[in-house]
Structure 1
Amino acid sequence: MREDQNGKGPLRRLEETLYQKGTPEEKSSRSHLRPHDIERHSGWADVPPQNTEVEAEPMVSPAKNKSFALLFFYASLAFFAVAAVITLFVVLGGANLISTRNVDITITGPVSVEAGEEVPLQISIHNKNSVDLESTDLLIEYPEGTRVAGDLEEALPRTRTSLGVIPKGRVVEENVRAVFFGQEGEEKKVRIALEYRVPDSNAIFVAEETFTVVVSSSPVRIGVEGVTEISSGQEFALEVTITSNASERVGNVLLSVDYPFGFSFLEATPKPTYGNDTWALGDLPPGSDRTIVIRGVVEGQDGEEKIFRVVSGTPKEKDEREIGIAFGTLLHDVAVTRPLLALQVLVNGRPGKEHVLPANEEVTTEISWTNNLPVKISNAKIEVKLVGEALDTASVSPIQGFYQSFNRTVVWDGTTVQELVELEPGERGIVSLRFKPRELVLSGGTIIKEPLITLTVTGEGTRIGETGREQIQSSVEHLLRVETDVSLSQRALYYSGAFSNTGPLPPKVGQETTYTILWNVVNTASDVARGKVRATLPPYIRVLGQTSPANESVTFSETDRSIVWDLGAVSAGAGVGASPREVSFRIGFRPSISQVGDVPTLVNEAVFTGFDTFSETNINASARPINTQLSSDPQFTSVEGRVVE
């Protein structure tokens, strides 16, 4: 390396440049290499030849220091975790110190019980801990439907018993008794828990155990007797029997029957307690029974199966109409078959099992029949039996048939209808009759209350088949409810009535004459609800606001000029065996010159509306308009009706 004139080599010149004034200071990064004394030379030529392979010294990386710190941290964490696990194991797990596992709960009792039977249970608690158990409480939670032994009316949902201190190593026993209810084969679980504290701790520990019993038999037995096959539309009966199996009295028994779709309830003996499907049977002593007979009609397709579900049990605490704990369930199947001789009844042209008839109107009944057999039916006969006090027996008039008045039966057979001598497969036909309901008020004032007519239609004949002759029969029943007969009258009075009237008679132009309007409602056979009478008043009539009796509700609307009497309920027999419902109100009439010589209308047509609670139909009656010709007032003369000037 060449030197300059001053004898300075390149390295020397570089050194002077680095440290001369004005040269910015540069900070070198801190090195992790150990410092060495190195011989300096002024040029590359001064450097003696050396071995080019230089042994590198090992470097100490800062990552190794960090790895050591992390290792120490993880080791500490693992130590504390292990210590915590050991602590939990000692406290809870069984180092024979303090643990719920060292509290043994043993339940001794029968695993199979009869429903309604008193069951004893012995509960043993063994404290295997090394300390006493303090403030101990024994909690027993019984399954739903459990009853108190000795008092089956009282439910037993749960109990809590204080056992005080259970010393270490000691065994404490507790005896309990309960009565379980449920369906046969049902499992009942009793949950038992011991709550306790240990010395020098406020924590509450809980040891639990479960005991399972199986109900081997129901406290009551359900039996159903009745048809298993029936034609659609045919009436039948089911007899339901409940028998006590329990050794003690079974209290507050409830029976419920779920009816299938298509079943129409007719009646039951005894009558249902709630609706038409639930009976409160009360208490059943050991060995006693109760019987319920249910009558109804099933409609369905050929081959359809109808299932009746009968359930017995005790009612819910909050709803006595529903079963809370079921004792037993029984299903009864009824298969619907197509009737061999099908019958269909039309009342006034309408099908259905129940009909409503207007009072005093003639009824036309048509009975159609069909041979559904693949073979002939010979000597067929159709009968209609009419039953009911509301029937006018003298009005029965069959077409082609014969009416036997002594038993109120109409008969059609081969002697009156030629087609009935022999019915071909699939052959159809029709017969008919007419009759009327009778007057609902009999002589002497007797009322036929809740008038009903029952039609029982029976078809029979002889089936001719390969196996010989066989008698067949089918029947249907129809209920005809007759509406109550309500009548309404309205009268205008001047000289008589509830009020003293004023003004001239005959009415004079420009002067007001007052009148009393009397509405009268008569009701015969059935109670009526929501009764109202409504009429409108001409524009020249003024309502004076007086009503008699004062407690009757009569209102007038200026908007549509309607006056309404809200009667509410109208009892059967009102106006027949008892006083009619009546109300009077006053109006004023000031004639105009254009009305001279006329008998102007005072009140337009009045209409009564209400709901017949027996026939379950809306009914109405009307009364014609009334005018100034007061024909209902005994002191009134005909010349006092026309307006004068």
Structure 2
Amino acid sequence: MRRAGNFLRGMFDGIFKKSKDVKQAEAEKPKTEWNIPVKSGDSFIQPEAFVRSGQVFVATQAVRARKGLKYVVIGVVVLGIGFAVWQWWNSMASADRTELRIEGPSAVRIGERISFKAIITNKQKKQDLRDVSLTFRADSGTEFTDTKTLALYQKYLGALSPMAQQEEEVRAVFWGKQGEERTIEVVARYRIGENINRFEKSQTIKVVISDPAVQLVVSLPQQVITDQEFRSSVEYRKLTTNDWTGARLELGQPEGFSMVRSDPELKTIGKFVWPWEILEPQENSKVVFDGTIASSEGQAKEFTARFFVTVRNTDVLVSEVTEELSIISNPLALTITVSDDPNYAPLPGSIVTYRINFKNNYDIALKDVVIQADATDSWLELDSLKVQNDGFYSSRDKHIVWNGGTTPQLLVLNPRESGTVAFMVKLKDGYPQNATQQVVVARAIMSAQNKPKDVGTSIQTEATLETKIQGKLIVTPKVVFRDDPQTGFINTGTVPLRINQATQYSMYLTVQAVANPFENISFKTILPANITFDGKIKGDESSMKGFLYNPRTGEMSWLIDRLDAYAAKTIVLQLTAIPSSDQIGKLITIIDDMATTAIDAFTRSSVEVPGKKISSDLPDDDTIDANTGRVTP
């Protein structure tokens, strides 16, 4: 009412002030005087008379204006009173005297069913509450026991009489870690009496999870050696007395960790997760797992065990424990060399010597050291095996073993002490059929019986050496007199050779790669003084492209950029021989010594293939022999 009275008082003051200002303005308005006569009928009215007439007109208009203003004032007053009454009525009608309060515990245990009361009280003395409803909204870690799949629970209460109250009980289960807060928002909605507007009051149920749900213990070794298998476990004990559904244990593994096996087995491929459809009260169990870590020494690696329950298809974390282990360097050093050359690439049939070099890098002496060499590779001719340093060969598993019983140095390997054991073996003579890029693999394992107690892996190290088998480049030169014109040339001349007379020959040159591809193949030879190249050549375009001949020096070369394994290239040249008198009765040289070099594209080793000279007796031509190949007068 005070606000309405202030509004009316201000409105009347404004209106009366405006009326007084209008009157004062009319009184101060200057009168208009006219100096020209105004005609009225047949006579003129003098200016004085006109002025008097104008004053009467002005006075009449002022009276009318004041009457109109009076009606306006009355209308505004009536509207103002009505507005004030409406404001007062609305204020009285909307005065909300409704109370909403919550009764229940402030601390709960995980997984237990807890009851809360939402009490709504109508403190209006004369008006009732209508369309009363309560809405309960749970957070992600809370579920209602009556509607577990829904986060929203609603209850319609209807009407509530003046000075009456009504309560609604809600039961919920809370999930989360110890000390975590969970909430349920409670909202009451209603109308007051005949008022069409809806009102609402809200409260929040806040509870804290008081006790741990699961006791997790992660057992890791303090130290492990990279790539060495170690055993760990996660033990859990459920501390509550109720059943859980949809629980699971998850292991967060560090980078470089690989699971080898676990008990119980993993149920999810690609993740380290062990689920349970039902977890019994006070259940106690253990997950044991074996694995390896590939990492640099000196790094710390963390393992985190997490226990989850599922609430409305959402994972809620209820317990979490993190432990770490350290990566240490392997106290044992082991290397393998073959024939004392790190770039050695043997040919089939080679006899190779493997040396196994070992060392104790630890600050303590290692006892009962054992070294095993794997001799199972199919390239090894085990009948030729010769074991050195008092090792012995087991034909049953094809392993060579050195231990303290045969090699006294291995009984106690002192700190920083090193040594070597070795064996010799012949490689098989030929390549497997159509096999390419072959390797022979040698493996050795070294282990010790004793270890520091804080090291979780066995004291063991391995070494592997892959030795690439060199491919073979075959260069085949052939010279004939009688030739097949389809592949070579029609040669003319005399057989036997006659001095100062020309005789033509066909020279076939074939290069073939076996087992490995070859690159930068270069064939070279120098023709003797009485042998010339006629300029005739046959072969595919790519083959002939790399052929060069210098007539001044007689040098002949053939370059091939690359030749794949088991591929071959051939060119055919026509040569002319003109014997001299000092060669009578002798065999002359058609092709002098040859040399071919190349790079094995697999082993990257350089290859040299020598070639012997070819004389006029033509070993590849059946029609020529040592007699018919000699020079005659």
TM, length-normalised to structure 2: 0.47
Question: Radius of gyration: which is bigger?
Answer: 2
- When you count helix as a share of all residues, which structure comes out higher? 2
TM, length-normalised to structure 1: 0.46
